[in-house]
Amino acid sequence: MDRYSQRRTQFMNAIGGGLAIVPAAVETVRNDDVQHVFRQSSDFFFLTGFEEPDAVALLDPGHDEPYVLFVRPHDPEMEVWYGKRAGVDGAKERFGADAAYPISDLDKVLRDRFRDRDTLWYPIGSSADSRVLGALSQARGMQTRTGITVPASIVDPSTILDEMRLIKTSEEIDALREACSISAEGHAEAIRFAAPGRSEHEVQSAMEYVFRASGAVREGYPSIVASGDNACILHYVENDQPLHDGDLLLIDAAAEIAYLSSDITRTFPVNGRFSDAQRAIYDVVLAAQEAVIDACKPGLPFTDMHDIAVRTLTEGMVDLGLLPEPVEDAIAYGWFREFYFHGTGHWLGMDVHDAGVYRIDGAGRPLQPGMTFTVEPGIYVARDKTVLDLANAPFDLDGERDLAYLQGASEAKRILDERKSEADVVTHEVPEQFLGIGVRIEDDLLVTSSGCENLTRGVPVDPDEIEALWEQPPTVPAIR
């Protein structure tokens, strides 16, 4: 049994008397007859190994043909333009479908398959909604007249698939390990390659060359190559600025191998030497990352990692004068969020922000062997943050999230700002030497039976080692 058929069996065992419909990703037009680069949906690929768009998988454990693929049929003219299709024959012969149909037959076959099934497992909100829900509604219309029973409930299959994807098999860990080591090598090349006078995108090209030349067919997400002030923009992807002497360069980028993505961030000086201010912030971020990594082992609640990072980062921020004392207020009142406003990590796998819940019954989910996740603390001192008005109002992240969920982000912000304006405010001046410095350090961890393994230390984090690496000549030649 190949890995896809093992997963289908496990999934079908979990859906009992229901049937599941999992759609492929949609190919979108960029212009005229040019498409955006296509990447299969992770759930669909996880179950099928099938990489074409316009496809749907049906998993129907109560049927004697339980695994059905709906695919694009052969079309000699289209195949000359856009490449070979597996077709209906290939879906059965190469991808193990018990039955296969052209995608145009979806509605008809679904009406038949809906009979006598209690539950439809289907991710509402996907591209196939109009066809799948249309077919279900037609089938329901017939049920009143014919006595046929069709699914009465629709359940999201991700409740099962997310759990299957969360704990990695040894085969998945091997692929992730490779993605991590290739990604680390690409980051090392970026450190060797960067210099004043080069540009963000030149460094990006040297790094991505290493990813691709080492076997990656794509990145796991768009590379962030952010120099100077750009490092304070979390998802900066323009990557079009020249590198200036004296600036830091923050790179968040990684390769994807066999549909598994790494996720690495390194921050280093463009000229190969950290300034005192840059190094001071860097050391705090590194200490926070080390404190989290040291604590990671089976049983640690996922949410504890953020608490550990916040404490170490806030102590450092107060030490450096970025925030006023006392540390306890800076934590309780959320002052640290002036400079650290994202989470400390996320599950990692087929998607860079991978599938799986972080809390169970409100409490942080305990780490288990086989889980993979990132640890990525940072400090971002935006250049215009010269003066802080810090409210003495208790900070409650869950409460803020609830408010944003119920009221929408902008109304929630208005309410929170109003609450803050009613509290006492401490005004604090940010030391000038730190303005415009953004640092994040991100590594990928695998939970083992007794602790965790760092998969991405093929590229150093120690500032002295980074400076020594910068001194080495790059392996990728510069074009200019």
312 lines the binding site for Mn ion (CB under 5 A): no
Q: Least distance to ligand GLY from the beta carbon of 436, Å?
A: 21
252/256 with CB nearer ligand GLY: 252
CA distances from 41 to 23, 29, 48, 100, 360 (A): 8, 17, 11, 19, 26
376 is catalytic: yes
263 counts as catalytic: yes
Q: Which of 52, 208, 315, 442 is catalytic?
A: 442
- The CA distances from residue 367 to 300, 332, 358, 449, in Å, are 5, 26, 10, 10
Active site residue 208: no
C-alpha–C-alpha distance, residues 434 and 248, integer Å? 12
Residue 82 binds which entry of Mn ion, ligand GLY, none, CB below 5-8 Å type-dependent = none
Q: Decide if 442 is catalytic.
A: yes
Question: Out of 189, 219, 247, 252, which residue is the one contacting Mn ion (CB under 5 A)?
Answer: 252
171 is catalytic: no
Say whether residue 263 binds Mn ion (CB under 5 A): yes
Q: Which is nearer to ligand GLY, 54 or 252 (CB)?
A: 252
User: Is 163 among the residues known to form the active site?
Assistant: no
Residue 165 per-residue DSSP state: H
- Of residues 377 and 436, the one with the C-beta less far from ligand GLY: 377
Cβ–Cβ < 8 Å for 215, 187: no
Q: How far is CA 440 from CA 67, 130, 233, 286, 413, in A?
A: 45, 43, 11, 9, 26
Q: Is the dihedral of CA 322, 323, 325, 328 positive or negative?
A: negative
Give the helix/strand (H/E) hosting 248.
strand 248-253
Q: Closest approach of Cβ 222 to ligand GLY, in Å?
A: 9
Output 18 or 378, the one with its CB closest to ligand GLY: 378
**Binders in 408-467 for Mn ion, by CB under 5 A:** 442
- Provide, rounded to whole angstroms, the least separation between the CB of residue 201 and ligand GLY: 18
Residues that bind ligand GLY (CB under 6 A): 221, 252, 263, 346, 352, 376, 442
Q: Give the dihedral sign, CA 30/32/37/42.
A: positive
Distance CA 377, CA 193 (A): 25
User: Least distance in Å: CB of 224 to ligand GLY?
Assistant: 7
Active site residue 306: no
Q: Does 189 bind Mn ion (CB under 5 A)?
A: no
239 binds, among Mn ion, ligand GLY, none (CB under 5 to 8 A by kind): none
Q: Which of 63, 111, 353, 428 is catalytic?
A: 353
Question: Please, which residue, 132 or 251, has the CB nearer to ligand GLY?
Answer: 251
Query: 158 to each of 8, 15, 46, 378, how far by Cα in Å?
Result: 14, 11, 12, 31
Do 454 and 445 touch, CB atoms closer than 8 A? Answer: yes
Residue 52 or 442 with smaller CB distance to Mn ion: 442
- Residue 362 makes CB contacts below 8 A (sequence gap 6+) with none
Q: What is the DSSP letter of 228?
A: G
# residues contacting Mn ion (CB under 5 A): 4
Q: Which amino acid, one-letter code, is at 11?
A: F
Residue 221 interacts, among ligand GLY, Mn ion, none and using kind-specific CB cut-offs from 5 to 8 Å, with ligand GLY
Backbone φ and ψ for 213, nearest 5 degrees, come out as: -65, -20
Q: How far is the CB of 210 from Mn ion (least distance, A)?
A: 17
Q: Determine how many CB atoms are found less than 10 A away from the CB of residue 253.
A: 26
Which residue's CB comes closest to Mn ion? 252
Catalytic residue among 212, 342, 383, 428: 342
- Binding residue for Mn ion (CB under 5 A) from 40, 183, 261, 374? 374
What is the smallest separation between the CB atom of 389 and ligand GLY, expressed in angstroms?
A: 29
Nearer to Mn ion, 200 or 263 (CB): 263
The one catalytic residue in 346, 365, 443, 444 is 346
How far apart, in whole angstroms, are the C-alpha atoms of residue 477 and residue 117? 61
308 and 343 in contact (C-beta within 8 Å)? no
Q: Answer with the entry of ligand GLY, Mn ion, none that 202 interacts with (C-beta below 5 to 8 A by kind).
A: none
Q: Which does 52 bind (CB under 5 to 8 A by kind): Mn ion, ligand GLY, none?
A: none
Q: How far apart are alpha carbons 325 and 311 in whole angstroms?
A: 13
- Among 52, 200, 247, 263, the active-site one is 263
What is the SS3 assignment for 379? strand
The two tokens of residue 450 are: 């007794």
Residue 351 binding partner per list ligand GLY, Mn ion, none, with a CB distance cut-off of 5 to 8 Å that depends on partner kind: none
Stretch in the footprint of Mn ion (CB under 5 A) among 57-65, 257-265, 281-289, 424-432: 257-265
223 binds Mn ion (CB under 5 A): no
- Using CA atoms, how far apart are residues 420 and 400, in angstroms rounded to an integer? 13
Closest CB to ligand GLY among 378 and 436?
A: 378
Question: Which residues are near Mn ion by CB under 5 A?
Answer: 252, 263, 374, 442
Q: Please list the active-site residues.
A: 33, 235, 252, 263, 342, 346, 353, 376, 380, 440, 442
